[in-house]
A and B are shown apart, each in its own frame.
Chain A
Amino acid sequence: MNYDAIRRFRSTVVVWLSALAVVVALLPLAAILFFVLSRGLLSLNFAFFTNLPAPVGEPGGGMANAIIGTLMLIGIGALFAVPIGVISGVYAAEFAGTKLATAVQFAADTLNGVPSIVIGVFVYGIAVLPVRQFSALAGGLALGVMMIPIITRTTEELVKLVPMSLREGALALGATRGHATLSVVLPAAAPGIITGIVLALARIAGETAPLLFTAFNNRFFSTSLDQPISSLTVQVFTYAISPYEDWHRQAWAGALVLVMLVLLCSILARVATRRLERLQTGH
């Protein structure tokens, strides 16, 4: 048989196989979204957002405390992760090529690859064990440690995207590099950096493992920093592995809220970056 025909046939097969791979990956995505939506909507109601968890068999339980808890934990984490991440990112971009900048990039990638449960063990060692108390502060610390590398890398990439001519303009007017960075480079990169930070926060809000033995869990409403605090993810976990039908329904509702949060932030970020790109290219 004609060898060329075989080659063409082989090529067509591979093209279709690779398209099939995309379909294979999107099937579980569709399945997960379908189940989370259909089961979650069944059990999601107003009480879910306003009530405290109810004991088994009692109707009308909610996750109000867990929602507040997740927001607080994310807030505590962001409070120290955002400044550290942004400044490190600026350094890695502005002094790219120096030994420290390379080390910082490598450290950020390494930290990003450290399993979240190991971050939990680390924070347990430095913030829970010494005071023998699970706390919101420890949970926030664990989430913050996870945010830092993401924010660093995002900031670095966006600062590098700022045209050199802007920087040079500021320097030519006699600005120091610090001044140029603060007054010209960062404002130019800010919309992108903020988008990246929001996306990072949304992703980290979905983390469970680092909270298991730092923030622990709390059946009651609590906003004190030195007490265990509930979070959506840990609450969903607790409910999911319980044997009760009621609690399973609550878990699906919690999952729906989590997925919606991440989904909305991803879509917003996508829209925002597209608008930015248009602005920059002038279309």
Chain B
Amino acid sequence: MNSIFKQRELGFRLGTGAVAFCLVLIVAAIGYELVRQSQLALAKFGFGFWINDIWDPVSGEFGARPFIWGTLYSSVLALLLAGPIALGIAIFLSELCPAWLRTPLTFLTELLAAIPSIVYGLWGIFVLVPIVRSLESALPSSLKVLPFFAGPPVGVGMLSAVLILAIMVIPFTSSVAREVLRAVPMAQREAAYALGATKWEAIQAALFYARTGIVGAVMLGFGRALGETMAVTMVIGNNPQISLSLLAPQYTMAAVLANEFTEAADELYLDALIEVGLVLFIITLFVNAGSRLLIWNMNRPATVRKPVPAAAAVGASA
């Protein structure tokens, strides 16, 4: 009787555990498959793939640097724009907002995350890009000497991509930052108020307490921006060049995959594209793992750390 019971317990645990293990397997399989399918490119270009500037399918020379640059540049700029706004939203919703406004505002900001990427792209092509084009045309020529504003005002290009990415990552970053702020013990703020702090000074105390989690929230948004495909593909101009200019049409890793994958005629071309996917996978993996670690660290219940004598620490770990 008892052993049957134990068997069933074990069966439940092993059964559900085996299915759950699938998730770990899928992640591993993605990495394995990307490496396996990009063999040709990996063998031919090696590490040079990351730093070669030339992407020429006709002559069979492939370097991913313009795409890596485009992906990182657009994402960093988008986060510079979205980060403060998302943080402001998180502060407003968790610290300042009247209770009756909180639920509807939270719902609305999260709706931004629910709108499909393709809809952002469509809106980007037909609404945002014309606006950006007229803004770019209106730039005073004194600014045009700066490398950031060099080039003709075409509308499609880095600036449009950055704007649309910023809009898209705001809800991700603000919702995580809000949760992180909510995890800050009330005592932190009360202590600040008790010392005569103003509202903003009390919020600063909470922000300082939550700093790792906030960095994690921004990194999570960064990870989202890195992998964003459709909206960026539709507005960035799809031209593999490395330029500081916001006006220049550029290209990202995700966009080159979306555009060229089904056109890749020969095997080396296809393998090079899959290797671009591998590079993107590796970069997002690091960014996401980093952000998760920071957020997890933050959300773990605070424990008082006692100084442990060296000998005891060795004994405990043995």
Contacts and interface: CB of A to CB of B under 8 A. Distances in A.
Contact of B114 (A115, A208, A262): A262
Given A109-B288, A213-B262, A263-B114, 5 more contacts: A83-B19, A91-B19, A208-B118, A241-B125, A255-B119
A139 B174 CA distance: 31
Chain A facing B: main interface SS: helix
Interface string A82-109: 0110011011101100001101101111
A32 B120 contact: yes
Given A104-B23, A148-B26, A26 B119 contact: no
A39 B198 CA distance: 48
Interface residues on B, range: 35 or more
A36 B229 contact: no
Contact of A122 (B33, B119, B171, B284): B33
Interface string B250-262: 0000100110011
Contacts of A181: 12
12 contacts: A14-B203, A18-B96, A26-B109, A95-B13, A101-B20, A103-B24, A104-B21, A113-B220, A115-B228, A116-B229, A117-B257, A208-B116
B51 interface: no
Interface string B29-40: 110011011000
Given A31-B127, A100-B21, A115 B229 contact: yes
B117 to A, nearest CB: 6
A31 B164 CA distance: 12
A244 interface: no
B119 A259 contact: yes
B118 A22 contact: no
Give the top 3 A-B pairs by smallest Cβ distance, nearest first. A115-B227, A21-B88, A206-B116
B292 interface: yes
A206 B229 CA distance: 13
Interface stretch (A41-49, A56-64, A123-131, A162-170): A123-131
Contacts, number: 268
B12 to A, nearest CB: 3
A7 B20 contact: no
B17 A14 contact: no
Interface string A229-260: 00001001100110000001001100100110
Contacts of A25: 85-86, 89, 109, 112, 167, 170-171, 174
Contact of B126 (A94, A116, A176, A248): A248
B156 to A, nearest CB: 11
Interface string A129-162: 1000000000000000100110010000000000
Interface in B199-213: 199-201, 203
Contacts of B22: 84, 88, 148
A236 B13 CA distance: 45
The winner among A10, A87, A202 for most chain B CB atoms within 10 A is A87
Contact of A259 (B86, B115, B125, B226): B115
A212 interface: yes
Contacts of A126: 29, 33
A14 B202 CA distance: 12
Given A177-B9, A206-B119, A122 B30 contact: yes
Interface in A175-215: 176-179, 181, 202-203, 205-209, 212-213
Nearest to B292: A109
Most A CB within 10 A of own CB, among B16, B109, B277: B16
A177 to B, nearest CB: 5
A91 B17 contact: yes
Interface in B1-52: 5, 8-9, 11-13, 15-17, 19-24, 26-27, 29-30, 33-34, 36-37
Contacts of A19: 92, 96
B280 interface: yes
B20 A212 contact: no
A240 B233 CA distance: 12
A272 B27 CA distance: 32
Contacts of A179: 8
A78 B94 CA distance: 35
Interface in A256-283: 258-259, 262-263, 266, 270
Given A88-B19, A116-B229, A181-B12, A259 B116 contact: yes
Contacts of B127: 31, 35
